[in-house]
Amino acid sequence: MLTQFISRKRVTVLAAFMASALSVGHAQAKVEEVHFLVPGGAGGGWDSTARGIGEALSKSELVDKISYENMSGGGGGKAIAYLIKTAEQSQDTLMVNSTPIIIRSLSNVFPQSFRDLTPVAATVGDFGAFVVAKDSPYHSFTELAEAYKKDPRSVSVAGGSARGSMDHLVAALAFKAAGGEPRKLKYLAYDAGGKAMAGLLSGETQVLSTGLSEALSLAEAGEIRILAMTGDARSTAAPDVPTLKELGYDATFVNWRGFFGAPGLSDEQADEFADVLKKMYETKAWETVRDRYGWTEIYKPRKEFMAFLEQQEKEVGGLMRELGFLK
């Protein structure tokens, strides 16, 4: 009887220990709070990324409390400056950003760069896309490229940001790959992607350079046609849209989106943020969000993310110099 009692007691103690260990492991897998700082207005790519990932983290119960703050201004510089200024009080903050932090830093739109923050992780990528209205005479990117090579000024390309910005550079990259002169691109700058899309639909411009995810809903509604996208392979979210590469143009581009912490964020907390973002990819909630926006997964945790940023800075800087935006 004593032997059976001791045996049962050991089993009970072992079960309690295992339950405790699992509980601790679960706690370590979670983050108590994340405050997402969005350097632009509602409805843009940064906003949808922060809110989509926040939705996945919340529904999968990986984060207990999530909040959002939109802070437009200075091409994203206002939010960057704010995060640096309030670093000590912003240890639970993740600021979303993307390729423009490289471009605008190189262009001196703001004095800071990614080196002034704590890179946490790249999370998703959105490919560039070239869009026309449903009644456009252009039915393929090849037709568009041929028209551009004959007379660059006959093709006006709109984007939701200033000259020398990502939308402009991606279009220049594509026409350069097609054999056109990239410096002759007639680029019409709008101050938001939605306004650029409205300009396309109203006939103010013939072509829109934008993100694939931002074009999908209107394409599905039949309002626009997507001529080509800049991925290495076709997107499952838009299987009928060809890549530039398959059309014979050696050009690819992905606009990464990722998260930065405040300067001075501890390695422990930065790792915790990176780990919880990695766990998100395994959830059903994330699959729903990812497929909704047509994003591709490009998870790059801290050191890998920093190396990626440094390499992109070199590549984008080279293209900007070639186009005359940098000396």
Q: What pLDDT is recorded for position 304? A: 96
Q: What pLDDT is recorded for position 198? A: 77
Which residues lie below 8 Å from residue 9, measured CB to CB, with a gap of 6+?
A: none
200 pLDDT more than 60: yes
Q: Which residue has the higher pLDDT, 43 or 144?
A: 144
Residue 222 pLDDT grade (very low, low, confident, very high; cuts 50, 70, 90): confident
Q: What pLDDT is recorded for position 26? A: 40
- Mean pLDDT score, 207-236: 86
Find residue 93's DSSP bridge partners.
35
Q: What pLDDT is recorded for position 4? A: 41
Taking only the tens place, the pLDDT of each residue in 131-174 is 998 888 999 999 999 999 999 988 889 888 777 888 898 999 99
DSSP structure class, residue 76? G
Q: What pLDDT is recorded for position 216? A: 83
Residue 1 pLDDT grade (very low, low, confident, very high; cuts 50, 70, 90): very low
pTM summary value? 0.76
Q: CA 234 to CA 67: how far, in whole Å?
A: 34
Q: Tell me the average pLDDT of the chain.
A: 86
φ, ψ of residue 112 in degrees (nearest 5): -90, 170
Q: CA 118 to CA 266: how far, in whole Å?
A: 9
Q: Cα 212 to the chain's mean position, in Å?
A: 11
Q: What pLDDT is recorded for position 24? A: 40
Is 288 within 8 Å of 246 (Cβ atoms)? no
Q: Where are the alpha helices (DSSP H) in the chain?
A: 2-29, 45-59, 77-85, 100-106, 141-150, 166-177, 193-202, 212-220, 267-280, 284-293, 302-322
DSSP structure class, residue 238? B
Q: CA 287 to CA 91: how far, in whole Å?
A: 28
How far CA 94 is from CA of 87, 155, 239, 265, in Å, comes to 11, 40, 33, 11
Q: CA 131 to CA 227: how far, in whole Å?
A: 6
Mean pLDDT is lowest, of 132-136, 215-219, 270-274, for 215-219
238 pLDDT more than 80: yes
285 pLDDT more than 70: yes
Angle at alpha carbon of residue 140, lines to 138 and 146, rounded to 5°: 75
Which residue from 87, 84, 74 is spatially nearest to 116, judged by alpha carbons? 84
Strands 118-133 and 296-301: antiparallel
Q: What is the signed CA dihedral for 15, 20, 21, 23, rounded to 10 degrees? A: 130
Strands 207-211 and 31-38: unpaired
Q: CA 171 to CA 158: how far, in whole Å?
A: 9
Q: What pLDDT is recorded for position 2? A: 40
